[in-house]
């Protein structure tokens, strides 16, 4: 599966990232994929490559590019629980600096770049994300209701702001970690999605902790990763290709 490094023009400079897409000629539906807070690394390239293997052009930006190119912080090959607190301490200032204005400015740039690539077909796109990337995905979809047809977030914080949800026209799937919210909180979130008229599925993945899709962490759960594909691929197929 071809993977190429890209430089994405933004209002604040050039952001690095990569794109994964199918072999051969032809054009493919576009998917913007936001990484988790640990950023671009082999585990993300594997996820993007798997998705590209199903016929999508997948753009993965380094959304912390203002602080430097990938890798913004050095990561161990495996992010164990012993290493996690120190890494999170270094990442938190980057997250706090990634304001709502920056999120929306970057989303404009990422979608503009994605939709103008020669390998990307005309028509709507999808956005998916992990951890903080899921929050970025939801905000991107809300800001581009005519362009984003599907959005998914996994083990992510969810902004249940009524004004944001009211802007969503995309089909939504949210896959929550069991450790991240209670059934009562899930029910409250789903009532908010229903009240906003959002076409959605939103569920807790059994036996999971935060970060369950990430194969280079102690949180990884192979059954939950497969459940994530079982939800994500039909969402994209129905929304982007009519499958």
Cα dihedral 177/181/185/187 (nearest 10): 20
Model confidence at 228, in pLDDT bands (50, 70, 90)?
very high
Q: Where are the beta strands (DSSP E) in 77-132?
A: 125-130
With 90 as the cut, is the pLDDT of residue 162 above it?
Answer: no
pLDDT tens-digit series, residues 197-215: 999 999 999 999 999 999 9
pLDDT band at 156; cut points 50, 70, 90: very high
Q: Where are the alpha helices (DSSP H) in 179-241?
A: 183-195, 222-236
Length of the chain as a residue count: 243
| The pLDDT of residue 241 | 85
State residue 242's pLDDT score.
80
Contacts of the segment 132-136: beta carbons below 8 A, 24+ positions apart: 132/34, 132/36, 132/37, 132/95, 132/156, 132/157, 133/33, 133/34, 133/35, 133/36, 133/37, 133/63, 134/34, 134/158, 134/174, 135/159, 136/34, 136/63, 136/103, 136/107
Give the H/E segment covering residue 33.
Answer: strand 30-34
State the total domains in the chain: 1
Find out whether the peptide bond into 71 is cis, omega within 30 degrees of 0: yes
Asked whether the predicted pLDDT for residue 243 surpasses 80, the reply is no
Does the pLDDT at position 39 exceed 90? yes
| pLDDT band at 161; cut points 50, 70, 90 | confident
What is the pLDDT confidence band of residue 174, given thresholds at 50, 70 and 90? Answer: very high
Say which range, 18-32, 152-166, 188-202, has the weakest mean pLDDT.
Answer: 152-166
Residues 121-136 have a mean pLDDT of: 97
Q: What angle do CA 31, 132, 6 make, to 5 degrees?
A: 45
- Nearest residue to 135 via CA among 124, 146, 151: 151
* Structure-token match 């949800």, residue found: 165
Residue 230, classified by CB atoms within 10 Å of its CB into exposed (0-12), middle (13-18) or buried (19+), is exposed
Q: Which residue has the tokens 């702001």?
A: 161
Range of 143's domain?
Answer: 3-241
CA angle 214, 76, 1 (to 5 degrees): 50
Q: What is the pLDDT of residues 93-123, one digit of tens each?
A: 999 999 999 999 999 999 999 999 999 999 9
CATH code, domain with 167: 3.40.50.1820
């Amino acid at each position: 599966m071809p993977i190429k490094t890209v430089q994405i023009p933004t209002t604040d400079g050039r952001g690095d990232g990569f794109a994964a897409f199918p072999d051969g000629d032809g054009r493919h539906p576009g998917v913007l994929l936001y990484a988790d807070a640990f950023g671009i690394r082999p585990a993300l390239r594997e996820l993007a490559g798997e998705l590209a293997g199903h016929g999508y052009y997948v753009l993965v930006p380094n959304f912390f590019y203002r602080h430097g190119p990938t890798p913004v912080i050095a990561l161990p090959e495996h992010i164990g629980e012993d290493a996690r607190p120190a890494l999170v301490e270094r990442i938190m200032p980057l997250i706090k600096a990634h304001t709502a204005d920056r999120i929306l400015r970057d989303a404009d740039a990422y979608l503009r770049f994605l939709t103008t690539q020669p390998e990307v077909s005309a028509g709507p796109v999808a956005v998916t994300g992990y951890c903080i990337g899921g929050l970025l995905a939801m905000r991107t979809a809300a800001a581009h209701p005519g362009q984003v047809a599907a959005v998914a977030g996994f083990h992510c914080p969810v902004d249940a702001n009524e004004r944001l949800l009211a802007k969503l026209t995309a089909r939504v799937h949210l896959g929550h970690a069991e450790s991240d919210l209670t059934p009562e909180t899930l029910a409250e979130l789903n009532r908010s999605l229903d009240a906003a008229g959002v076409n959605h599925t939103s569920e807790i993945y059994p036996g999971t902790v935060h970060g369950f899709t990430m194969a280079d962490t102690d949180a990884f759960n192979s059954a939950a990763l497969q459940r994530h594909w079982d939800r994500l691929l039909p969402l994209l197929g129905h929304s982007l290709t009519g499958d």
